[in-house]
Structure 1
Amino acid sequence: MILSEKITEERKKNGWSQEELAEKLSVSRQAVSKWESAQSTPDLQKIIRMAELFQVSTDYLLRDEIEVESNQGSTEYGSAEERSVHMVSMEEANEILNWKRKLAPRMAGAVALCILSPVLLIFLLGLADSHIWGLRENMATGVGLTILMIMVATAVFIFITGGLQGKTYEYLEFEQIETAYGVTGLVKEKRKEYESCFLKGMAIGVVLCILAVIPLFMVMAMEAPDYVVTASVSLLLILVARGVYLIVRVCIIKGSYDMLLQEGDYSRKEKQVKKKKDTFASIYWCTATAIYLGWSFWTQRWDFTWLVWPVAGVLFGAVSAIISITVKEGE
């Protein structure tokens, strides 16, 4: 149990209401409510007083947090006094988690918009090539490119505004942090509750990306007309966009827990590597975008040039792994 749960349990064992406990501690009922909902933490004097009232030891109330602080002070990285760290309070931790939950669908939606942007263009060009509905190629290109640019511009706007809003918490990605007592237990509890949702989202997202190619393979096997092939490519991108949306959304939320716990991609060693990889990532994806747009406009094969993205994604993973290994070996 984390501190907030222990306070609630001990209060109920003694048959006290929140108002009665607040009166004994000379605080407001709202303060006790925030402690029990893990929105804030009591100061040390209040912890000592509660230990006396509940007839338990302060070690019992703070036991999990004491163990965490002991691990954080390990000699592998030096003591807290020897490092420049940012202290994260309970209130700040809750703000970060809430912000990430609100940010996740927006950022995932922006990624999906980028994938969906050429869908209408591909579909209309397929109709124009087959002379269906009397649609001319120039009109199909004009309408399709207009929608493409609007969707890409919208996605870029979301990326930029999301990044600006996150400047306040940028230190979580690069700096070493320490958490106030109660924070680690709270975050671990919430991450455990989210685990099933994360696994479900990842599984569905990956399956959608894999199954997305089936309609295209089927129409190619049946030697369907060109407009049917381009329509199946559009459907492929729609399914991939949905799958990627789910993957990005759950990964952002799970990443917020890893950030505060300094685990996974946000461990102390990984933060050192991340600083050096970010410059490469910015250059890489700008280059990939330039290649995609340049190739597409030059050849007008929007039904084919989308292959740049899966290839770029695979290569990025491979190159990033090589860079990580090289940096770690260098250190």
Structure 2
Amino acid sequence: MILADKITDLRKKNGWSQEELANQLGVSRQAVSKWESASSIPDLDKIVKMSIIFGVSTDYLLKDSLEAGRDTEEILGYNTAELGMDEKAIQMISMETANVYLELLRNISSKIALGVSLCILSPIMLIGLTGVSDKKEGMILSVEVAVGIGMTILLLMVAVAVAIFIIYGRKMEVYDFLEKEPIELAYGVKGLVEKEKLGYEAAHSRNLVLGIVLCILSAVPIMVLAVSDKNGMLTIVGVNLCLILVSIGVYLLVSTGIVYGGFQRLLEEGDYTRSQKIENKRNDVIDKIYWCSVTASYLGWSFITMEWEKTWIVWPIAGVFYGAVVGISSVIRKH
């Protein structure tokens, strides 16, 4: 526990509000609030006074160590045995590590998002060329040639995307423990991360709204153009426009999700609370089997039918169904 957490813990144990503690120390309530959020550090004389008021030593307040006599699991809020480690293995995140990690996420978020968008856009040429060659007699391109060119472009775009995932994924491997293991933030880090997260909230909300709206509206070109389509050409255009809108929407969702996820990992919020990390470890095997099966089904269906404009629907359905699978497995374990 850092000083900020100890002040909060001891104040609540004594049943005092921030204002009541501030009165005893001769400071403002805002000062106490900043101490507890790790936005600022109390002066030494205030630390000495707090040790007298709380009945603890100054060493206890100043040293980032667990309180003697308390159960580690009670303090940390999770069962360390379930994670296959003890409290000594908890990694301390310094200010420098947090800053480097967040800066790395900002740099790679757009690249990873671009890779995902390339995968979505990859069948556009295949759909367009095969559609044109099939509908128009006397076209220079035969269906076979159109499929060959379209598949080549598709595979090239997917290959570029995979290269992006591998290159930038390897850069993130050193931080994998943030998703799986409990962490402890060094003094002042929590306040810094919370401040940056607060500053990013507006951009995150905007990108979420735009991304979701674009994905919803992506079906509009197909519906509008299909109404007046006589030879199927407008439907093909509509499908490609749909994929373009989806790719833009997904780009916004993925890029903002990566950055915002970094804040949640450091603060152990959302999907990265300590209890959730235990649950995630239990679901590791399920995750691998499930997503490998989904990927195999998607590729099999797509290559057999060559209806890439339809098979993408596998992913949103798989994402929703995954929640149900995890929920059911959790209920089964509890019983």
Equivalent residue of 2:92, what SS? strand
Q: How does 1:243-282 map to 2 (within 5 A)?
A: 243-282=249-288
Deviation at residue 325 of structure 1 after TM alignment: 4.5
Q: CA RMSD in A?
A: 3.2
Equivalent residue of 1:74, what SS? helix
More deviation, 196-205/147-156: 147-156
Identity over aligned residues, as a percent?
A: 41
Q: Which amino acid is 1:74 matched to? A: I
**1:183 aligned to 2:226?**
no
Deviation at residue 57 of structure 1 after TM alignment: 3.5
What is the distance in 2 between the residues matched to 1:321 and 1:277?
10
What is the distance in 1 between the residues matched to 2:253 and 2:294?
21
Q: Deviations over 1:231-273 (max 9, x none)?
A: 2111111111110110111111011011111111110011111
**1:301 aligned to 2:307?**
yes
Q: Which amino acid is 2:263 matched to? A: Y
What is the distance in 1 between the residues matched to 2:146 and 2:185?
56
What is the distance in 2 between the residues matched to 1:75 and 1:103?
32
TM-score by structure 2 length?
Answer: 0.73
- Kept in 2, the 8 Å contact 1:122–1:231? The answer is no
What is the distance in 2 between the residues matched to 1:225 and 1:273?
53
Q: Specify whether residues 157 and 75 from structure 1 end up closer, same or farther in structure 2 by C-alpha distance, changes over 3 A only.
A: closer
Unaligned stretches of 5+ residues in structure 2: 4-38, 50-60
More deviation, 268-277/280-289: 280-289
Q: Which amino acid is 2:145 matched to? A: M
- Kept in 2, the 8 Å contact 1:129–1:227? The answer is no
Q: Specify whether residues 179 and 220 from structure 1 end up closer, same or farther in structure 2 by C-alpha distance, changes over 3 A only.
A: same
What is the distance in 2 between the residues matched to 1:266 and 1:171?
11
What is the distance in 2 between the residues matched to 1:230 and 1:293?
21
From 133, 145, 149, the equivalent of 1:139 is 145
Equivalent residue of 1:225, what SS? coil
What is the distance in 1 between the residues matched to 2:256 and 2:48?
36
Counterpart position of 2:216: 210
Q: How does 1:51-66 map to 2 (within 5 A)?
A: 51=43, 57-58=46-47
Q: How does 1:206-245 map to 2 (within 5 A)?
A: 206-245=212-251
What is the distance in 1 between the residues matched to 2:168 and 2:314?
26
Q: Which amino acid is 2:159 matched to? A: A
More deviation, 318-327/117-126: 318-327
Q: Deviations over 1:122-164 (max 9, x none)?
A: 1111111112753311111011101111111111122222221
- Kept in 1, the 8 Å contact 2:226–2:234? The answer is no
Counterpart position of 2:108: 103
Q: Specify whether residues 317 and 152 from structure 1 end up closer, same or farther in structure 2 by C-alpha distance, changes over 3 A only.
A: farther
Q: Which amino acid is 1:171 matched to? A: F
Q: Specify whether residues 315 and 225 from structure 1 end up closer, same or farther in structure 2 by C-alpha distance, changes over 3 A only.
A: farther
Unaligned stretches of 5+ residues in structure 1: 4-40
What is the distance in 1 between the residues matched to 2:48 and 2:260?
30
Count the aligned residue pairs.
Answer: 276
Deviation at residue 167 of structure 1 after TM alignment: 1.7
Deviation at residue 224 of structure 1 after TM alignment: 3.9
Q: How does 1:1-331 map to 2 (within 5 A)?
A: 51=43, 57-58=46-47, 74=75, 76-77=77-78, 82=87, 84-131=89-136, 133-327=139-333, 329=334
TM-score by structure 1 length?
Answer: 0.74
Deviation at residue 82 of structure 1 after TM alignment: 4.2
What is the distance in 1 between the residues matched to 2:249 and 2:331?
30
